[in-house]
A and B are shown apart, each in its own frame.
Chain A
Amino acid sequence: MTLVLEAAVLGILTGGVYALMASGLTLIFGVMRIINVGHGALVVLGAYLSFALFRSLHMDPFLSLVVTMPAMFALGVVLQLVFIRPLKTDREALSVLVTYALALGIEGVLGYVFTTNFVELRAWYETASFAVFGFHITWVYVFGFVLCLTILGALFLMLYRTSFGGAIRATMLNRTAAQLIGVDVDRVAAIAFGIGVATAAAGGVVFGITNAFNPGSHYDLISRLLTIIVLGGLGSLRGAVIAALIMLVSEDITQVLISPVWANFVFFVILVAILIVRPQGLYGVRVRDRI
């Protein structure tokens, strides 16, 4: 029983990471109606950046965020301007291909620079843990979870308490209407993308601390993230967070109760179930294009 409890707790902790990464992804979809298939690669990129900083400057991974988050934000804005904004027609379809291409490019460059060997983000306190309910929780997981909560909290605050956040939400709800009330939707799109990529950097740190990774890890990551936002409902942040928790807790419990091999499978089982029962996801809206 403690095993299940431990798995549940672990699920919540890792769910936080995925919630953070998934929020960035669903935010990007909500504002620009594009599916950033390269989000996993950006997370891995963030992880590698922190890794490089650690390797050369012995910088603590959490500390490196001070550098990587702004850097990735800038990268996100640039990517949006150069590769996404020029897409005028067939946006949804083309953006999938563009972002996939970017993911491949990132994977290629990372593979060239860092080789395909698996690496991990290290911290000097990484083995420290504390005991609760008869099992141990490593502090790094808790730090990671707190980080994710903080950033998610900041994200929600920004979205619901600032005027820029209002502009983002307006664009998400109705792009044309937002334009009509004076929102610079192009700027909002670029900045939203930057924010999404910055959250990927944060996610990358926590992901890199808790998992061994290599440039090819983005495939597994993106398939999970995509499944999460489909479950949560494309464009819904609330949905992304809740879906991430559901998915990760289910996965960890399955790992303990059935087998690690089938734990991965849980994601897809839940996805298929959702698609059959409620294709728009938990908080999504059934879309009829125009009536």
Chain B
Amino acid sequence: MSTTPNTYWRSLNELARNDEYRQLVEREFPENASELTDGYSRRNFLQIMGASIALAGFTACRKPMQKIVPYTRMPENVVHGNPLHYATAMPFMGSVTGLVVTTHEGRPTKVEGNELHPDSLGGTHILHQASTLDLYDPDRSRGIRQGDEARTADDFAAFCASTFTRDKRVAFLSEASSSQTLNRLKRQIAGRFAASTWVTYEPFGEENVLLGTAMAFGAKRRPIHHYDKAAVIASFGDDFLAAGPDSVRAAKQLAKSRKVMSTEDGMNRLYVVESNYTLTGTNADHRIRVKESEIAQALFALAAALGADGFGGHTNAFTGNGDIARLAADLRGANGAALVTAGADQPPAVHAAVAAVNAALSAVGATVTYAALPFADAADQNAAFRALTADLAAGRYDALVMLGTNPVFTATGDVDFKAALSAVPAVVHLASHIDETSAALPSNGWHVPRAHYLEMWGDGLSFTGAASVIQPMIQPLFGAWSEIEVLSTILTGSRTGGHDLVKQTWTGSDWNRILHDGLQAGTSFPAATVRLTGAAAIRAAAEALPTVSGLEVAFKADPKLIDGRTANNGWLQELPDTITKITWDNVALMSPTTAAGYGVEFPRASILRAPADEEPMVAVNVNGKTLELAIWVVPGHADNAITVYTGYGRTHAGRVGNGIGVDVNPARTSSSPLFASATATRIRRTYPIASTQDHHSMEGRPLIREASLSGYREKPDFAAKMVKVPGPIDEAGQPISLFDEQTFPDHEPQWGMTIDLNACTGCGVCTIACQAENNIPVIGKKEVKRGREMHWIRVDRYFSGDVNGNPQVVHQPIPCMNCELAPCEQVCPVAATTHSDDGLNQMTYNRCIGTRYCANNCPFKVRRFNFFNYPKTWLIEGNDPEVVQMAMNPDVTVRFRGVMEKCTYCVQRLNRAKIETKRATGDSRKPADGTVKTACQQACPSDAIYFGDISDTESVVTRTKRNERNYLLLEELNIRPRTSYLAKLRNPNDATA
């Protein structure tokens, strides 16, 4: 069973002949026409389709005859050519994050954070930024199917009416959801059938956390951390900065105390206890390197050291460990301003212990509050899922309804969900693609295309409890359904529009205001009062936890693909991993010492040898399964341990995600899904890995300038002082130059940028945001392996310290520096790259003939070349190019083969802002400070990027450039970059120094 690509029109003329289209236009008004009043018709996709074709940016070749296709009925508040912004929210793992979506003529093209939303505050993470591409994924399923037969919506409604009768025993399997409407319908369901079960299945959800708090407090509670209130933070395997339901808020709060702007400012201290190097680990001031199975033990030792309830006299391998002792002292010293967290994938006992520790630190109510979740089931959902699988297999149910989720792929090896499916008479699977589960449905099973959040009505609660309504930006492509629409059809036997369902839930609320703001003002979870009751139980559970003595394998959710749900998203597949910089693959991550055991030398002993083209491989035997993976050395990884990521090796993800990497789920067990003891042997095969940064060391060059907080206080301008610029100085105080000065001091504005390396976490959201904003193509593994990645802003990663011990990691985002004396400009023979009056280093695509001289001469190597006609394969030749074209930003030209491209500080935004300002003021060309943001700056969850007019002495960016931490990269070349950096600081505990 596979998607049939051509059920969708290919051109306007065909569109006119398209049946779907006829049906729609024959109706007097399109669906939900009653909503024309609140401008619903703006989202009427079919009528604006034409406009979007005329607008999608295109390459340097002019067509003989261009058509203009106007609206037939002009939608309200659309000014043709100007983008509109609407608030909505993106659901993910049971929480929603408030977003503002930019739409061009009804096409959502870009998402930004909603500044009004407490869990976004204007920030986003990589999954938010990449989500627009998912909407326009041509591999999405194109319609309802039963077995291999296409079915209509009416067929499905009829099936529901006949099947879901009151006498039936029905099982429901859904992703974690905080949707008020969904849960309203869920309650109706509960009473409706003879027997019904509802299981929430999230392979990497927060169930363990809830079970842990249940163990501690007697009821499931969600711990909400307040990182901004904590002076000392200790994370036990908790990668809270990696994209997740709460990561944006976490990054914002952590960054708050890391923006050290003067020697008076303080800075929090972050300890991370982990096995693999994670994003959070790279930001740690102290990183304690232990095997995954030892994290719990380290925590219990800490609990004992702090005298947490239930751990009196508890001893284990870490009792008396120096690092833990110092950590304990530091935490206690913070009196109340301390916070301990643990990774959601850690077993419940760990979270229970964390609760005990935080209680012992009297952090509860200060740095951590607990929330009672309105929609959480009391039962253990992990266990419930296993039970359900067994019951299904035993034929105890007449029907199964799966709202999203892909259990056939994500379930652990010991749970044979596929077999269970075949034993159910009637199965309904709501899924965006014909994924592994849909493909495994029995021949009479129903697949219903699932709506993307940008094309559906819905609602939900944020991680901290802010209530939002999800409003569609566009009518469902491919007639997709939302969860609530399916549920209501099951309940009523006929389809009700998502809008009406949501509206029912929200009756009595200030509907239009909520739609406008993107959330219901002032809503959040009240802090629940908790009392630690389960001390004894925690102790018992803790001491029952297994440990692994020999080699162990840890199974972690991939930071980009999670459980594989985003595997068909090219932007995420091609986003380099924050630590390894690997794209398009998962590998066996291990420390240099461990790798040496398999005959891998790191770093390569003989530099005389040309680098090997392919990586050595290792066969990992775990739980009776064998995983053959490429060996990848991560300095700082725990020894005698291997980490592998889930979400790869999908077979029904789509053309992008199929066959990428290795599926490790079969080797996991539901009893211990996180880690298992294993054996591994080097095998003869090798495997090509596309990594965008092979070199791990900074070679002692002053690229990322770092100091300890105390060092900074002694010598605040240490960064600028690290390099002496040679040569004579001119009257302007600048080193003299052979070339014409490229600055126009009389012309305002003068754009400039500053990047705070202390606030930057290295998450990589800037890269995706830039890709979405600037129509940057995805080029695939083969080309990335060749080193032809196209990202305009990359995040460099360097290891410092002893690579065989516990080295530190630093990140550095590198966009185009827009040098005032740009080396690239001097050498272009056709003047395709020149300087603009407002200080930009311009790249004129249509003038470029592609000598690549500019890229050669760029000291930062930020220029990217279209070696092939990269967009062609998916924008022109791909099936349904119109669909993918709709993701394009019409303000940015799509670059043709043989053309150089690079970061332009989002010049399309700057120009729009300048014209808007002129129109508004009548005479000013200079947008007010802060009104124009670059895509990377706007997306950054920790506000590490400052951008603005440096001719304005009071603008934020000018003030940051005056800061003592400010320095210029490669200043000694006298190229005068417009992008500068604020030096990185760390706040080590002197007791450990």
Q: Bound pair: A and B?
A: no
Interface residues in chain A, defined as those with a beta carbon under 8 Å from any beta carbon in chain B: none
Interface residues in chain B, defined as those with a beta carbon under 8 Å from any beta carbon in chain A: none
